[in-house]
Amino acid sequence: MPFSQAKSAHQQETFRVGVFYDGTLAKARRNVDVTIAEGRILSVTEGAPGGEHLRTVPCMTPGLTNAHVHLEASGEAASQDAWSRSTQNERVIAAVQNARKSLYAGVTSVRDLGCSGGSATSVAAAIADGKIEGPRISAAGAVICMTGGHAWFLGRQVDSPWEARKAVREQLLAGATCIKFIATGGVLTRGAVPGNAQLTPEELQAGIDEAHRHGLRTAAHAIGTLGIKNALRGGIDSIEHGHMLDDEAIELFKSNGAYLVPTLTAPTCILEHAEDGKQPQWALEKARLVAREMQVNIARAYRAGVKVAGGSDAGTPYNFHDRYAYEVELMHRLLGMSPHEALHAATAVASELVGLTNGTLAPGEPADLLLLERDIADDITTLYRPLGVMKNGSRIVDRAG
Ligand SMILES: [Zn+2]
């Protein structure tokens, strides 16, 4: 029996919540009763006298949204080699497992920004049909890159604006609900230089236009300064990584309303395991360079008012799908966000970008939520091990009940 039917989402249930975060930046509310019915939030009211029998939870937040994952990758140390050695069937199985792990760790929505053979779009459909467990998924299908560009081994390689349009149409046909372009080199592809622009402004502009014509949001992998600006000038909806952005890029982000998904976990995890003897030297060298830029530039962009959405690049070395809480912690520690602001970036802001739910808890919204042992303002690491996870009103994790 599919899990979604195993525990009914239709019963009405009320929690008495010590500290309630709705996903927005509104002040946290204390001592409220949250009632769930038919898989949605029915009401959020002041805790009334006489509710002593209700299930009490110290803290409640929306479920997390991870705006940048690769479900078919599992944190392997040498990711390009591991990918090349794996079969398509193994990658589908990994995507199924990683989707489930994400959900159990409190991630109720993800955006998959690059898979092979449509693995993530198939997993997304199977979850939506209730066949397997996992978060809500928006999937890009194959990344669109230049010939030999970053991630070429799992990408759709294009070398003209019309090819870029055709590649977008192919992803649409294959079930993609968003599109990913490779605007610069990257850390994990041998020979790709992160600072160098890759797809041309003309190719990006054509591909982004084609995606938008069909109602698909667009993301660009962009680390180098010129590639970031090429994508922003082409009308991209989100820049992934963005580590070498400058003042002009900050202005472009703001005038376009584009989002920045900083994926702080990705270089951090690579460098935390620099001595493992398993990662290629060339990847470590690139990660060091990128991490230096990231520490300075991303915080500056956030302070200047760029919309920062949570996304971890889960699947990259040692960056596991059940550790998205680390990205939330790093946004707090490295970007100067308060825990409340970091939660907002990983719920409402990321959800607004991904487009599956609003990532907020209010009457009428789906009951995708976390029950936490502590107030995140006192201890953000409480997100690592939720007491409870609900998706669409179904209990996925319930440690206390
Ligand atoms: Zn990625």
Are β-strands 238-241 and 217-222 bridged in parallel, bridged antiparallel, or unpaired?
A: parallel
pLDDT tens by residue, 138-167 = 999 999 999 999 999 999 999 999 999 999
C-alpha 384 – ligand 1 centre gap (Å): 22
Return the ∠ at Cα 271 (arms to 266 and 277), rounded to 5°. Answer: 120
C-alpha 240 – ligand 1 centre gap (Å): 8
pLDDT tens by residue, 26-39 = 999 999 999 999 99
> Count of alpha carbons within 13 Å of 289, Cβ hemisphere only?
16
CB-based contact 366:329 (threshold 8 Å)? no
Q: What backbone phi and psi angles, to 5 degrees, belong to 154?
A: -120, 15
Q: Write down the number of H helices and E strands in the chain.
A: 13, 17
Question: CA torsion 82→85→86→87, rounded to 10°?
Answer: 160
Indicate the domain borders of the chain: 3-63+360-398, 64-354
Residue 174 has pLDDT above 70, yes or no: yes
C-alpha 114 – ligand 1 centre gap (Å): 7
C-alpha 371 – ligand 1 centre gap (Å): 29
C-alpha 189 – ligand 1 centre gap (Å): 11
CB-based contact 266:310 (threshold 8 Å)? no
C-alpha 248 – ligand 1 centre gap (Å): 24
pLDDT tens by residue, 263-281 = 999 999 999 999 999 999 9
The pTM of the full predicted model, rounded to 2 decimals, is: 0.96
Residue 3 has pLDDT above 70, yes or no: no
* Average pLDDT for 123-151: 97
CB-based contact 126:85 (threshold 8 Å)? no
pLDDT of residue 50: 83
Q: What CATH class has 64-354?
A: alpha beta
CATH topology (fold) of 3-63+360-398:
Urease, subunit C; domain 1 (2.30.40)
Spatial distance between the Cα atoms of 6 and 204, rounded to a whole number of angstroms: 46
pLDDT of residue 48: 84
Residue 6 has pLDDT above 60, yes or no: no
Nearest CA-CA partner of 263 in 51, 30, 70, 23: 70
C-alpha 32 – ligand 1 centre gap (Å): 39
HEC letters along 373-399 = CCCCCCCHHHHHCCCEEEECCEEEEEC
> Count of alpha carbons within 13 Å of 112, Cβ hemisphere only?
34
C-alpha 132 – ligand 1 centre gap (Å): 24
pLDDT of residue 4: 42
C-alpha 230 – ligand 1 centre gap (Å): 19
